[in-house]
Structure 1
Amino acid sequence: MFGFLTRARSITRIALTPPAPQPGRQGLAIGLIVKNESRHIGEWARFHVEAGVRHIHVYDNGSTDGTVEAIRAAIGDACSVIPWDQKLRDARRGLEIHNQVLAYAHAIRNFGGRYRWMALIDVDEFLVPKRAASLPEALAHLEHCRNISLPWHMFGRSGHLEPPEGGVLRNYTRRNPDPMSDAKGLRNFKMIVDPCAVTAIKVHEIETGGGITCNDRGAAFTHATRTQAQFYSADHIQLNHYYTRSDAELRAKIARGPNLTTPDADHLRRVLRKVDAIEAGEVEDRAVIEFLERTGG
């Protein structure tokens, strides 16, 4: 099923045969890989289920802090959990296979046929309907699309040294002003796709044939041209990425290290450069709070 293309030290792109659509497939599902996020996963899961996500497929990468119990307590049967604690390598070349990409490929191939849409995101990323009362409603005008790219809206610490009471969404309201900035790696995308059209997966780029992706207005671009300023839209769905949360959580994030084996010093420099860029010239963003107030959440 898989074909692999490689980078110098790791395999970060997996090709696959798309799943066959099942009769009556419908709705939006999320594929999530997670490790030790018990503090935040309940808020994240409740938000997305209340926003209309049909099911969350959780890949547990060896959590030891009650993460699995927390998401089950939050949303019950709206999630399913797959053990995913592994570091796999290509036996011939010794290249590490990106565990997150492998989880995403498994989710698409094994569960994608049930759904019209799938999103592959992290627990620090929230899909926020901007006008509609739900995510399915926000996607309704995009039936002609197989592939929707949503740019990161990068939130920093919002002045919090320690995790505040009341969760993420109402406490972190300051973000970088330009989601399309290419400074220090701030510009990136996550995607909502037709899983029955997926032919290859990377963390930030999912291929669905033809090299075409849409913005949330439904305008078509190539994967290469989605980085242009005119691609930007968050008219219908905004992707909030709470990259740091509090300063204490940022320090824990740095200590935890990256998804792939990377020298500690390189990881530290990369994270701190990104944080400095996020918090330069911040603007207030209340889109998610407005959604919660609009829907009574």
Structure 2
Amino acid sequence: MRDKCKLSICAIMRDEGCYLMEWLEFHKLVGVERFYLYNNNSVDNTTDIVIPYIQTGEVIFHDWPLHPGQIPAFEHCLKHYGRESEWIAFIDLDEFLFATEKNDVREVLEEFKDYPGVVVNWLCFGSSGHIKRPKGLQIENYTKRAPDNFQSHQVVKSIVRPEKTLGSAGTPHEFTYLDGLPVTESKQPLLGGSRTDISSTKKLRINHYKTRSQEDGDYKTRRGRPTTLQPRNPQLFKAYDRNDVEDLTIQRFLPQLKNALAERERVLNYELLLNQQYKTPNQLVFDYQKYDMIDSANNKLKRSFKQLQEIQKELDKSKSWLDHIEDNSLMV
């Protein structure tokens, strides 16, 4: 069994490749140590993006073709990985969980260690007027949300203590527990259902980018629901495309997130370059000045470059030696 971590996330995903790295790196910033991801028939580049995270042990990855598959995925996660985490948050790829004032969600969860679960309210963000999918980050592009009294803000997602959790209650929002009830951030027991009477996001919140752009919304409608075999209502985008309030709370993480993503991109580019060089050992020239080499990544690349040069020299020597042997054998 892997080392027990404080906070993990379980999510099912489909064709979220263009948003996946942002989502992963953001949640790493706010204290998530491990991700249990269930790939539900993606046809984009999801697998390519997630491979480096699998290699580091940050992501546990399952191909999950079952449809509808969200509830079975959550059940599978609790059964097989429940003992590996003190807390598991069950959210989606269009949801960003964070502490409203503190930087680390784990610090807030310390207040709730005597409860089997904590529920967190949504805040639903609209398209911010984007018709086409804009370049850049979600948390930078989508800054406007529905008003505080928007009815869907009463919807919750759950962060559960697996050791005290029996399983899903049949929806992606709520769970059943061995003993006791989950509580809101104000420590009020949630008596049932997936909604609170009053939305509260003073300690914890989920920015729910439910619509994203019109282009994204149209695709989500065609894709259908992850929990049923029913298609989505085509009017869903219009109902949730509310842009009444500008909310920049999450953007305090933006500088760190951009740095993390830039570093991840550099490492990926170096690894791709090295792989290319291994495949074409006769083409070992590339311009170091073209890249912003930093610290260990720079040293690693230079060492590998030198090693490849030595290998090339040895290959040339071996080829020369074999040619010599072959010539002599022909002379005999």
TM-score by length of structure 1 reads 0.78
* 2:102 aligned partner, one-letter code: A
SS state at 2:185 partner: coil
Larger Rg: 2
CA distance in 1, matches of 2:2, 2:133: 45
1:69 aligned residue (34, 44, 48): 48
1:204 counterpart residue number: 173
Structure 2 counterpart of 1:287: 249
Shift of 1:79: 0.6
Aligned equivalents of 2:93, 2:19: Cα separation in 1: 8
Opposite residue 131 of structure 1, the aligned amino acid is E
Number of residue equivalences: 255
Q: Distance in 2 between matches of 1:192 and 1:149?
A: 6
- Rounded to whole Å, the distance in 2 between the matches of 1:218 and 1:24 is 29
- Which structure has more relative contact order (CA 8 Å, sep 6+)? It is 1
Aligned match for 2:204, one of 237, 255, 261: 237
Counterpart AA for 1:261: L
Find the counterpart in structure 2 of residue 223 from structure 1. 192
Task: Answer yes or no: is 1:40 the counterpart of 2:40.
Answer: no
> Structure 2 residue aligned with 1:268, among 213, 216, 233?
233
Please give the alpha-carbon distance, in whole angstroms, between the structure 2 residues aligned to 1:254 and 1:226: 24
Q: Unaligned stretches of 5+ in structure 2?
A: 260-332
CA contact (8 A) 1:131 1:138 kept: no
Q: CA deviation at 1:295?
A: 8.5
Structure 2 matches for 1:1-297, cutoff 5 A?
Answer: 25-73=4-52, 76-77=55-56, 78-87=58-67, 98-178=68-148, 181=151, 187-201=154-168, 202-210=171-179, 212-224=181-193, 227-229=196-198, 232-259=199-226, 260-262=228-230, 264=231, 267-269=232-234, 272=235, 274-280=236-242, 282-292=244-254
How big is each residue's C-alpha offset from its partner over 1:127-178, in whole Å with a ceiling of 9 and x where there is no partner?
A: 0221212121221222122111111111111111111121201110111113
Q: Call closer, same or farther: CA 1:42–1:293 in 2, change over 3 Å.
A: closer
Q: Give the 3 Å change call, closer, same or farther, for CA 31–179 of structure 1 in structure 2.
A: farther
Larger relative helix fraction: 2
| SS, match of residue 28 in structure 1 | strand
Tell me how far apart the structure 2 counterparts of residues 179 and 76 of structure 1 sit (CA, whole Å). 44
Structure 2: distance between partners of 1:26 and 1:45: 16
Contact preservation (8 Å) 2:116, 2:180: no
Scaled by the length of structure 2, what TM-score is found? Answer: 0.70
Over the residues paired in the alignment, what is the CA RMSD in angstroms?
2.5
TM-aligned CA distance change 1:226 to 1:32, over 3 Å? closer
Question: Match for 1:207: what amino acid?
Answer: T
Amino acid across the alignment from 2:189: A
Q: Secondary structure at the match of 1:222?
A: coil
Give SS of 2:206's match: strand
Distance in 2 separating the partners of 1:242 and 1:86 = 25
**Relative to structure 1, is the Cα distance of residues 149 and 177 closer, same or farther in structure 2, using a 3 angstrom cutoff?**
same
- Look up the equivalent residue of 1:237 and give its one-letter code: L
256 and 146 in structure 1: CA distance in 2 versus 1, 3 angstrom threshold: same
Distance of 2:258 and 2:45 partners within structure 1: 29
Give the 3 Å change call, closer, same or farther, for CA 46–206 of structure 1 in structure 2: same
